[in-house]
Each structure stands twice: as structure tokens, then as C-alpha cells.
A = this chain, B = another copy of it.
Amino acid sequence: MKKPCHCAQHSHQKQELASLTTRLRREDRKITGPRAAILEILRQHSHPLTTKEIFAELPKGECDLVTIYRAMQLLEKLGMVKRFDFGDGAARFELVEEGDDGHHHHLICTQCAQVVEIEECFPPEIERRIAQQNGYRAVTHRLEFFGVCPDCQRLK
């Protein structure tokens, strides 16, 4: 249907989808319609999506909501997707580059839920000290920022 596109951006995406399906196959998993569609949607978004949001973007009837839940569980287990928790009761998922662990944070508008990706991270040396002081091992963290975005400030 779609003509192949060779511009830098799209060839990057093409490649990504191919590598995604490869990663699945590598694990003896099947590339099914629902899975391809879900990966496609995730590829099109740079911000984490809830299961419902993915479902809403899928051509209707493409698959059941339960299938998305199952797909996200699988993709998370394979490290292809990273789960985020904004504290509103719905898990969110973002595609992870191969070989990456997807660790990063977000700045979320408390009024409109707009999301900004943040590269800044909790200082590793401080985390190391916290781990050490308490005798903990393999310490990581979950960190998200909340505030009011420019648009919502204006509306006030």
C-alpha cells in the first residue's frame, strides 16, 4: 500500500520495525497482526502510551484490549518496551531501542497531562551512596516530575 520512503527519518523507522520483528522471532514469538499494529503505533509516538490509548489508535476491530495487555507483558519481558507509572492508575509504555534499557524520566503536566521527556537523571553517585549506606544492592529508581505546562499556565 504505502510506497517505500528512503528519507533519513523514515528509513530509520523502517529499520526499526524490521528489527522489532526480528527481536520477536529471535525469541520464538510470532509476528501477528495485532503485534505488528501495536509496534507500529508505539513507533509513531515518542511518549508513553496507555493500553487504552494504543487500543484507541488501532484500526477498530484490529484486536481485543486483552491482546494489548498480553502483548505489553510480552514486550516488557523481552525488554522491547519500558513500563512507566505516572501515578494515575494506568500503566504507560514506550518503545525501547535495542541494547538500551530505556531508563529515563518525564515531566508531566498535572492539568492536561502533556508529557516532556527528561534526560536528566538522579545523580548516580548519590544513588550509590544511598545503596551503600543501607546495604542494598542493585539499586535503581523511579522518578517523574510533575508541574503545570506553559499552555495551562496561560489558561489560568
Taking Cβ atoms with an 8 Å cutoff, the residues of A that contact B are 85, 87, 107, 109, 116, 118, 120, 122-123, 126-127, 129-131, 134-150, 153
Enumerate 10 A-B pairs (CB-CB under 8 Å) in ascending A order. Answer: A85-B85, A107-B130, A107-B131, A107-B136, A107-B139, A131-B147, A134-B149, A136-B148, A136-B150, A142-B143
**Chain B contacts of A122 at CB under 8 A?**
122, 143
Contact residues in B for A123 (Cβ distance below 8 Å):
123
A141: chain B residues within 8 A (beta carbon): 143-146
Query: How far, in Å, is A93 (CB) from chain B's closest CB?
Result: 14
Extra inter-chain contacts (8) besides given A136-B148, A142-B143, CB under 8 Å: A85-B85, A107-B134, A109-B136, A120-B126, A122-B143, A134-B149, A136-B149, A137-B153
User: Which chain B residue shows the least CB distance to A148?
Assistant: B137
A140-B147 in contact (CB<8A): yes
On chain B, the residues within 8 Å of A85 by CB distance are 85, 87
Complex CA gap A137/B142 in Å reads 21
